[in-house]
């Protein structure tokens, strides 16, 4: 009997090894059934077998089957708990993973680095619990033992947007492996910290560490403007030197980098020289050409991709549909989507409807959309609303929103934008309030529309409430454009102190930010401060554009700063800017309003285009004011 039992155990271990190599439900389930048939024995070998079955189910993303094995085990060890805990974490079952962790500790089993790194890797792990695990790791010496816990902590803080904490963990780690470096490089890259990202990449290379494809992907992810192109070209060299140009993953990252850095010549060369091209490679180049002045090239590449025998996916179709420039091309692509089975794909359908509308085929778009069963799917409905909005059909846009069972954020955005565009500002404000009541979360596009409405209505109460909502929900997610609109809104509503306070709190400012502040100061009578801010902007290397000059000249008008206004007007040429009608109007109004009628008349006569009614009105008002002043002086 003992010999027979040993033979069965030996055969069982052989089956475990075979299943581990094959990894499929088809082989794992019979093994599981066999262990149940043989019965559970509370010995180390039985625990080993069950741990492996749990691991197999975990690798196949079958947490319920894995827990079924775990729950019926008569004897569990640390590996058992780590395996099921890791399985729950990978599948996003945080509470189940945390409960297993608590049970493990209650049973007197001490967590190790794999326990903590498994928990910290859960996508839904909160920072609060993560900090508790960090304290436990430091206390038990697990943080300094190896790179596992630190790397997982870094990932948690990165996912939660706590970049300072992530970098602090990285700096404090005594042991760092390649995954640690790659994670930090990628994290900095994805959040736009180009200099820090490149610095870490160079530091890693300087140490002589062996780089991987993920190292290059991480650093390329941070390069996304024309200014970063030179860095990208320099890093392209090591890619070739180390042979990573044979990796599809790296080639696609490089190609995407060149597209983001607006270098289509490099991107095209990269695409032509690629030894192998997968669907991602084709999609990247097709999508890039769809946004250029030569969208027809995207269609050519789409046809070539088809000729090369590579099947397009939904991303391919969306890219090439967006590039279509004629009704004939669009209808051919429509037929192609049907032939390849994408007639019910909501992303492809949405692109088709929007493309029909964009090409002026409004009735074709609406006829196509009418084929959907009621209630309409949200995404195609958004496209129809966009078409109505684009064609000025305001009431049809509102009607469509009322027909949707559960309008999403995009649907509300389109309708609110339609109201704002057509001058229905109060209706837009009411819709925003209703959106908030219905607990539909606004995004940056929503805030752009509603802040514009607040500026038009000069509604400081609503504007301040929206600012408070932004701070409450997550102000850090707002882009610079939303912050610029807030500055502008406060200025137009007369709360210039709020504009200044918001400006001073911004870590990153662009030319529009400076222009919005100068405008806010100028229209609220703080002309000297507006000029000081203009000079500060120049000293920081921001070259003013046409809009900035209108803002600063308007400030001079409101403050009667004649000399400064004349100097600023003359300064426009040094920036290569030719004054337009609005600039001349600002200067003429400034001169005429302050009694410099001859100078104003000379400016009008020197204009390269005929003066409009506004300029003549400003000049005549100045003449009337000057005559009245003379009459009053004579009467005295």
What is the pTM (predicted TM-score) of this model?
0.59
* Domain extent at residue 224: 177-276
What's the mean pLDDT in 386-406? 60
- Flag whether 230 is in a domain: yes
- Flag whether 492 is in a domain: no
Spatial contact of 600 and 567, defined as CB atoms under 8 Å apart: no
- Flag whether 182 is in a domain: yes
- pLDDT tens column, 118-152: 999 888 888 889 999 999 999 989 888 888 899 99
Q: Count the residues in the chain.
A: 636
Give the C-alpha separation, 231 to 634, whole Å: 72
Spatial contact of 404 and 376, defined as CB atoms under 8 Å apart: yes
Q: Which residue has the higher pLDDT, 63 or 557?
A: 557
- Flag whether 43 is in a domain: no
Question: Which has the closest alpha carbon to 449: 476, 477, 423, 413?
Answer: 413
Number of folded domains in the chain? 1
Percent of the chain with pLDDT over 90: 36
- pLDDT tens column, 257-308: 998 888 888 989 989 888 888 999 999 999 888 888 788 888 889 888 888 8
- Flag whether 71 is in a domain: no
Angstrom distances, CA of residue 271 to CA of 168, 231, 245, 254: 39, 19, 11, 10
Give the C-alpha separation, 324 to 537, whole Å: 42
Q: Which residues of 328-353 are buried (b: 16+ CB within 10 A; e: fewer)?
A: ebbeebbebbeebebeebeebbbbbb
Angstrom distances, CA of residue 511 to CA of 45, 71, 517, 542: 69, 62, 10, 6
- Flag whether 88 is in a domain: no
Give the C-alpha separation, 571 to 557, whole Å: 17
- pLDDT tens column, 512-565: 999 999 999 999 999 999 999 999 999 988 889 999 999 999 999 999 999 999
- Flag whether 267 is in a domain: yes
Spatial contact of 70 and 80, defined as CB atoms under 8 Å apart: yes
Q: Which residue has the higher pLDDT, 129 or 348?
A: 129
- Flag whether 208 is in a domain: yes
| CA triple 346-348-350, angle to 5 deg | 65
| CA triple 265-270-276, angle to 5 deg | 150
């Amino acid at each position: 009997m003992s010999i027979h039992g040993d033979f069965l155990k030996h055969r069982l271990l052989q089956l475990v090894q075979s299943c581990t190599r094959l990894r499929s439900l088809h082989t794992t389930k019979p093994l599981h059934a066999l262990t149940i048939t043989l019965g559970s024995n509370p010995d180390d070998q039985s625990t080993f077998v069950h741990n492996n079955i749990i691991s197999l189910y975990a690798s196949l993303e079958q947490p319920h089957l894995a827990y079924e094995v775990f729950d019926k085990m008569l004897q569990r060890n640390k590996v058992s708990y780590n395996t099921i805990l890791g399985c729950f974490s990978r599948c996003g079952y945080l509470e189940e993973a945390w409960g297993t962790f608590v049970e493990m500790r209650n049973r007197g089993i001490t967590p190790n680095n794999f326990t903590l790194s498994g928990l910290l890797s859960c996508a839904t792990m909160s920072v609060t619990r993560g900090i508790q695990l960090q304290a436990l790791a430091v206390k038990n010496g697990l943080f300094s033992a190896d790179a596992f816990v630190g790397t997982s902590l870094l990932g948690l803080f990165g996912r939660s947007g706590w970049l300072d904490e992530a970098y602090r963990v990285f700096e404090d780690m005594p042991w760092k492996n390649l995954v640690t470096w790659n994670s930090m490089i990628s994290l900095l890259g994805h959040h736009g910290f180009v200099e820090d990202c490149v610095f870490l990449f160079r530091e890693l290379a300087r140490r002589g560490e062996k780089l991987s494809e993920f190292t290059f992907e991480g650093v390329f992810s941070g390069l996304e403007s024309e200014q970063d192109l030179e860095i990208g070209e320099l890093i392209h060299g090591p890619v070739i030197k180390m042979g990573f140009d044979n990796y599809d993953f790296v080639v696609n990252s490089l190609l995407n980098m060149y597209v983001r850095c607006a270098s289509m010549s490099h991107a095209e060369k990269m695409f032509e020289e690629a030894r192998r091209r997968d669907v991602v490679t084709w999609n990247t180049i097709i999508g890039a050409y769809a946004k250029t002045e030569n969208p027809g090239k995207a269609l050519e590449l789409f046809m070539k991709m088809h000729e090369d025998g590579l099947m397009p996916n939904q991303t391919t179709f969306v890219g090439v549909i967006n590039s279509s420039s004629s009704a004939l091309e669009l209808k051919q692509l429509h037929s192609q989507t049907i032939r390849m089975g994408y007639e019910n794909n909501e992303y492809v359908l949405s692109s088709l409807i929007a493309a029909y509308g964009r090409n002026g085929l409004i009735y074709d778009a609406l006829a196509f959309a009418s084929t959907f069963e009621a209630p309409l799917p949200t995404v195609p409905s958004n496209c129809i609303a966009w078409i109505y909005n684009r064609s000025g059909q305001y009431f049809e846009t509102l009607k469509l929103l009322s027909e949707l069972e559960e309008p999403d954020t995009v649907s509300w955005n389109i309708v609110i934008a339609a109201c704002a565009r057509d001058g229905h500002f109060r209706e837009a404000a009411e819709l925003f309030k209703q959106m908030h009541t219905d607990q539909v979360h606004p995004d940056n596009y929503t805030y752009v529309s509603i802040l514009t409405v607040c500026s038009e209505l000069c509604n400081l109460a609503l504007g301040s409430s929206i600012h408070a909502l932004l701070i409450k929900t997550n102000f850090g997610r707002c882009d610079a454009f939303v912050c610029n609109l807030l500055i502008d809104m406060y200025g137009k509503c007369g709360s210039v102190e709020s504009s200044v306070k918001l400006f001073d709190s911004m870590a990153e400012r662009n030319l529009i930010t400076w222009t919005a502040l100068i405008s806010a100061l100028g229209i609220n009578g703080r002309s000297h401060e507006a000029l000081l801010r203009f000079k500060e902007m120049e000293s920081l290397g921001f070259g003013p554009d046409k809009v900035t000059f209108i803002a600063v000249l308007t400030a001079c008008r409101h403050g009667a700063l004649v000399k400064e206004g004349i100097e600023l007007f003359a300064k426009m040429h040094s920036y290569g800017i030719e004054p337009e009608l609005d600039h001349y109007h600002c200067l003429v109004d400034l001169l005429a309003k302050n009694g410099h009628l001859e100078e104003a008349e000379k400016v009008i006569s020197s204009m390269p285009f005929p003066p409009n009614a506004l300029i003549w009105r400003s000049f005549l008002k100045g003449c009337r004011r000057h005559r009245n002043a003379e009459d009053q002086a004579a009467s005295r």
